[in-house]
Structure 1
Amino acid sequence: MSKIDLTSLEWCELIFKDRNKNYGAYKMRQELGKRQTVALIIVTVVALVGFTLPRLIRMAIPEQKEEMVEVTQISALEEPEVKEENIIKKVEPVAPPPALKSTIKFTTPVIKKDEEVQDEDMLKSQDELSETKVQISIADVKGNDELNGQDIADLQEVITQTPEKKQEPYTMVEQMPQFPGGQAELLKYIAKNLRYPTISQENGIQGKVILRFVVSAEGKVENVQVLRSLDPYCDKEAVRVVQSLPQWIPGKQNGRNVPVYYTCPIVFKLQ
Structure 2
Amino acid sequence: MSKVDLTSLEWCELIFKDRNKSYGAYKMRRDLGKRQTAALVIVTVVALAGFTLPRLIKLAMPKQKEEMVEVTQLSALEEPEVKEEIIKKVEPIAPPPALKSTIKFTAPVIKKDEEVNDDEELKSQDELTQTKVQISIADVKGNDELNGKDIADLQEVITKAPETEKEEPYTMVEQMPQFPGGPTELLKYIAKNLKYPVIAQENGIQGRVILRFVVSAKGYVEDVKVLRSLDPYCDKEAIRVVKSLPQWIPGKQNGRNVPVYYTCPIVFKLQ
Same fold (TM over 0.5): no
Q: TM-score, with normalisation over the residues of structure 2?
A: 0.44
Q: TM-score, with normalisation over the residues of structure 1?
A: 0.44
